[in-house]
Chain A
């Protein structure tokens, strides 16, 4: 999978691979999926290894929950593990918790592969062009992407204003009580900003249900379909080899 693959086949392929990871209860498959996604990010998308490791941390923490539950509370957590075990033969015969742990890591790395190699703007445009996502929804998604950094900046300003009022330096990380107190002002900021953006978009001619052209609609090329097919073929081959081995 290369970074220039059309976002939609890439999305479909990633979802199919994540689906396979959920259904196939095999440690080797999870490890292979994780390694393949990490390799594509490292060598193909030039993502530094430290960043890949950092990205894995939240998924690893989540996966540790399964691992610890499985190891320490095997009897109590039997139902979920048994359900997973019954989906397929556990190969090799390892702790189901370990499989669940690496499943989390594998799904996380495939998600990261999609997120880090996809231009969000192109994805939204592709959804509007090929899957008929209504333009107001598409541009609302783009606004949401603009809003995230703006909310971050507003949060910092509000935190600084609070620090001034309380006569203390700015803490590096806010305390939970501080975050709670800032929720309403941030929400008010987000609502006001969204309202202004909606008015501006209307003033620039955006109308629900009205046809609109696109300056750069991303076409689905033959190479995109070939790469999509190749990805599916690799998945099928891996599953076949695991079943035979």
Chain B
């Protein structure tokens, strides 16, 4: 029986590009194999996924070379729509790619396109709703009323309903709270499923993965093999290349630099037996403390609401000092972005008081900040003197794209440019970053973390909205947990991020490094 996917010498080049976006490379996936595709930002992972059923070049203009077979048949002999009977695709921006009007419409869509009998479709839809953990009454809910995370769960349920022989998933857990991300990973990567998945969040998925394929920055295969083997043998190299590796791998390498040898492990708890009592883990896990400055902003008994929307948060009392970094965690739809607009002063609270100067928000979609034709012009439009703009770009590692249109930059570059615009003039004593690491590779996330701490050292008060507890642990001094319309906890990051009972109650998960925090606090 032929492999579900087999490609030889596959390379893709976009029109007018001087080099290939990805490849040439060879890849194959055997039946029942669960393969993780890793690589730095911009190495062509999504491009490769789009080519697998012929969306490239049939729907997205590009040139594909090499041979690509699905289930033994040349991909181009059928249209991308024809392949939907055997291949299900879960897109990166699931919330923008749903077709139906209601949840049931969406789940039935691909099956209706195959002209399956209505009774069979109804049965599959009911089954998929159950498997995806959605309440039965979700079937009649309108897609437009769902939050981004809820839409992503519906997209997953639609893939389950499709019951395809091969699933292709592009960052399926990117915007999900930890509990939802774990559930999605468990369902998508159940044993027996044949899947090719791209994801930067390794925690929820890695224990399900049979094989990892790592692409280099040039879009060619760097290494391929079982995860434990790849990360044990190549972990150092991959981390240096800015590719996500398991936290245990990164910690093992950092400990090695301190002269503490630890054998290859993929779970953080496996590091513990190898730690000498004198090991100093604080520099590896926690931010360097900055003496707190005067209070910058305070919300007192505030009720917050989105523009024209109902009040979603009540009784919010929170204050932030200069140089302090506050992590804001909470389940999908908890009102984190609403609190951000209230804290920044963009929208006044419906009740209560806000004191302090206005702050700025770096939105989750950095494109919202752009209005000029080049990265350099964005800075001058933001009030940076022309002779200083080049220096600011260099500081954020954007010199080489100074003359590029902001919309053509990679996601990491866009995030850095948006932050550069907000921080270049020292205009904002308060800065709120909404999911700053979403979609970034390890190098991109490290860069953002470094700049967060640099800004804190300069006295800026920062709020970081994130689902990534380990990122929060590494940059935040304090963490506030937002759920059910109120702040449920507010305190030092290490204390809250290992309080598993409280976190689990709201669909969150403790930091992966929690066992190491416990080790640090041992008597």
Contact = CB atoms under 8 A, between A and B. Distances in A.
Contacts of B358: 167, 169
B163 to A, nearest CB: 13
Contact of A196 (B79, B80, B93, B345): B93
B454 to A, nearest CB: 21
A43 interface: no
A244 B153 CA distance: 62
Contacts of B421: 165
Q: Which of B53, B91, B307, B361 has the most CB of A within 10 A?
A: B307
Interface string A91-109: 0000000000000000000
Given A163-B346, A164-B346, A207 B96 contact: no
A218 to B, nearest CB: 12
Interface stretch (A22-30, A74-82, A153-161): A153-161
Nearest to A146: B144
Contact of B144 (A149, A158, A201): A149
Nearest to B125: A215
Contacts of A210: 81, 113
A12 interface: no
B98 interface: yes
B348 interface: yes
Interface stretch (A32-40, A45-53, A137-145): A137-145
A167 B427 contact: yes
Nearest to A207: B81
Interface residues of B, number: 61
B116 interface: yes
Nearest to A157: B368
B59 interface: yes
A178 interface: no
Contacts of B115: 211-213
Contact of A142 (B99, B348, B360, B369): B99
Contacts, number: 148
Contacts of A164: 344, 346, 360-361, 369, 422
Range of interface residues on A (Cβ < 8 Å): 35 or more
B380 to A, nearest CB: 13
Q: Which of B60, B99, B117 has the most CB of A within 10 A?
A: B99
A120 B109 contact: no
Contacts of A217: 118
Interface stretch (B100-108, B193-201, B242-250, B475-483): B100-108
B143 interface: yes
Given A156-B307, A216-B104, A205 B346 contact: no
Interface string A189-200: 000010011111
A142 B100 contact: yes
Interface string B354-397: 00001011010100110100000000001000000000000000
A197 B97 contact: yes
B490 interface: no
Contacts of A197: 96-97, 99
Q: Which of A169, A200, A204 has the most CB of B within 10 A?
A: A204
Contacts of A148: 144
Interface of A: 120-121, 124, 139, 142-143, 145-146, 148-150, 154, 156-158, 160-165, 167, 169-170, 172, 185, 193, 196-207, 210-217
Interface of B: 53, 55, 59-60, 79-82, 84-85, 89, 91, 93, 96-102, 104-105, 108-118, 121-122, 125, 142-144, 158, 162, 306-307, 341, 344-348, 358, 360-361, 363, 365, 368-369, 371, 382, 421-422, 427
19 contacts: A146-B98, A161-B369, A165-B371, A167-B427, A169-B347, A170-B307, A196-B93, A196-B96, A197-B97, A198-B59, A202-B59, A203-B53, A203-B89, A205-B114, A206-B81, A206-B99, A212-B112, A214-B112, A217-B118
